[in-house]
Amino acid sequence: MGWGTVHSRGKNAAVVALAAFLTLPLGGCFFGETFQRGYVLPDGALEQIRLGASQEQVLIVLGTPSTVATVSGEAFYYISQKAQRVASFLPTTITDQRVIAIYFDRNRRVNRVASYGLKDGEVFDFVARKTPTAGSDVNFIKQMLYTMQNARVGMPF
């Protein structure tokens, strides 16, 4: 192996290394990013919440709620939003937003579990698989979902 062979191999390696280094900043342009904001529901956690479970059991399994409300009894709300940006020069798109609602009776026992999101622009309960009827709770959920969708607080644009 002569000097010319070693020199051209070193030169080729330098060119490849320089090309790889220069394309690194472009990696964000071609590989999407996913953003999670708010509550992250652990896998299988919702299935652990049974009717009749105590508030304390819910807190152990799901943790502290995003917000608590008194509607017709007490309810814990766990709010989350996922968004994706396909390329760094494109805007962020919301891919999913949920409000997990755990409803309690007067004895502080679970009497209903719901996972609300938007389906075709309407509030939809993915646990019951139906669009809930109108009421103060549904209006509250709808307001939370639409506010989250329009605010995009903390999400890159």
3-state secondary structure of 76: strand
CB 144 within 8 A of CB 78: no
- Kindly report whether the global pTM for this prediction surpasses the value 0.85: no
Copy the structure tokens of residue 148: 């989250």
The radius of gyration of the chain's CA atoms, rounded to the nearest angstrom, is 24
44 and 120 share one domain: yes
Number of domains making up the chain: 2
63 and 4 share one domain: no
38 and 21 share one domain: no
- What pLDDT, on a 0 to 100 scale, did the predictor assign at position 64? 92
- What pLDDT, on a 0 to 100 scale, did the predictor assign at position 33? 82
3-state secondary structure of 23: helix
Residue 157 lies inside a defined structural domain of this protein = no
55 and 78 share one domain: yes
pLDDT per position in the chain (157 positions), as tens? 555 555 555 566 665 555 555 454 554 445 678 777 878 888 899 899 999 999 999 999 999 998 888 766 689 999 888 888 887 777 777 777 889 999 999 999 999 999 888 887 778 888 877 777 766 677 777 777 766 666 654 545 4
